[in-house]
């Protein structure tokens, strides 16, 4: 059964999740960031069923996160490489990784560290305000109706309530 579609909700979290489809997709992207480019390499690394992998790769190509390019003929074989849209998803994986490192790691510590070329340190991600650089937290950040909020929903009482803080 096709699950509920979130693609048209006025929420970028819901739209992002709709595009991803399921949890394999971020892991396929993670592998692409690790430098994996070939179907068989994704398959070996993730232990994912071939038909599931084919479906997730097709989706990522259709949605413009990956590009599929032939690198060999007879037989034709393809590389999957990240587009700019795909590469930008790194920030979401970093934020997930930080949360998991903080809350799900065992006593030994995080399984993977992130070396930042800019400062030469093993570090982790922090989610800050693009305007002032200070952390954005649930306590200091409030949702406002954005320019793309659907006008026909904007006057509903429950929607007004939602954005009243």
Stretch 41-80 residues interacting with a copy of itself (CB under 8 A): 45, 47-48
Pairing state of beta strands 77-82 and 66-72?
A: antiparallel
List all residues 6 or more positions away from 86 whose beta carbon is below 8 Å from its beta carbon. 29, 32, 60, 64, 65, 66
Q: Measured from the CB of residue 45, what is the shortest distance to a copy of itself in angstroms?
A: 7
Q: Measured from the CB of residue 76, what is the shortest distance to a copy of itself in angstroms?
A: 26
Among 51, 74, 75, 119, binds a copy of itself (CB under 8 A): 119
Q: For residue 74, which phi and psi values (nearest 5 degrees)?
A: 45, 80
Q: Measured from the CB of residue 151, what is the shortest distance to a copy of itself in angstroms?
A: 9
- Decide whether 76 or 118 has the Cβ nearer to a copy of itself: 118
Whole-number Å distance between alpha carbons of 136 and 125 = 13
- Decide whether 7 or 69 has the Cβ nearer to a copy of itself: 7
Q: Measured from the CB of residue 77, what is the shortest distance to a copy of itself in angstroms?
A: 20
39-46 and 50-62 are packed helices; what angle lies between their axes, rounded to 10 degrees?
120
From residue 37, alpha-carbon distances to 32, 40, 71, 76, 88 in Å are 6, 9, 11, 15, 17
Q: Measured from the CB of residue 69, what is the shortest distance to a copy of itself in angstroms?
A: 18
- Decide whether 23 or 74 has the Cβ nearer to a copy of itself: 23
3-state SS class at 66: strand
Residues 84-103, interacting with a copy of itself (CB under 8 A) = 85, 87-103
3-state SS class at 103: helix
Asked if 30 interacts with a copy of itself (CB under 8 A), we say: yes
- Decide whether 48 or 66 has the Cβ nearer to a copy of itself: 48
């Amino acid at each position: 059964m096709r699950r509920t579609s979130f693609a048209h909700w006025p929420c970028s979290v819901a739209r992002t999740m709709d595009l991803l489809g399921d949890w394999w997709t971020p892991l396929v992207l993670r592998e692409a960031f690790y430098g994996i480019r070939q179907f068989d390499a994704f398959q070996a690394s993730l232990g994912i069923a071939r038909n599931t992998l084919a479906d997730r790769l097709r989706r990522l190509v259709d949605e413009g996160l990956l590009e599929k390019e032939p690198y060999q003929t007879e037989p034709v074989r393809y590389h999957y490489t990240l587009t700019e849209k795909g590469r930008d998803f790194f920030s979401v994986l970093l934020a997930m990784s930080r949360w998991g490192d903080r809350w799900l790691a065992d006593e030994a510590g995080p399984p993977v560290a992130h070396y930042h070329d800019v400062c030469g340190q093993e570090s982790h991600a922090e989610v800050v305000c693009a305007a002032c650089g200070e952390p954005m937290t649930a306590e200091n950040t409030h949702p406002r109706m954005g320019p793309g909020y659907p006008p026909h929903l904007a006057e509903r009482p429950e929607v007004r309530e939602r954005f009243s803080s």
